[in-house]
Amino acid sequence: MTDNIRTLEQQKEEFKQKKLLASPIAGLIAWLTVGISGLIFPDKITVWVLFIATGSIVYLAMGISKLTG
């Protein structure tokens, strides 16, 4: 078994090199959903879509980050 011990500085540099696109993509999906809902549905339904979409951005981002690596 090999020891794969990296210093904190090495881990920090690896983290900086990763592309962090999950949150912006999740926000885009959520706000597009709200926008389309505003065009199609009445205001009462759009308010619920807005409430649910803004609360789900973090969970969407976690799912997207699992898919994108």
Q: 25-65, pLDDT tens digit by residue? A: 999 999 999 999 999 999 999 999 999 999 999 999 999 88
Cβ neighbours of 33 (radius 10 Å) = 16
The pLDDT, as a whole number, for residue 19 is 72
Q: How far, in Å, CA of 26 to CA of 33, rounded?
A: 11
pLDDT category of residue 9 using cuts at 50, 70 and 90: confident
Domain range annotation of the chain: 41-69
pLDDT tens sequence across 11-22? 888 777 777 788
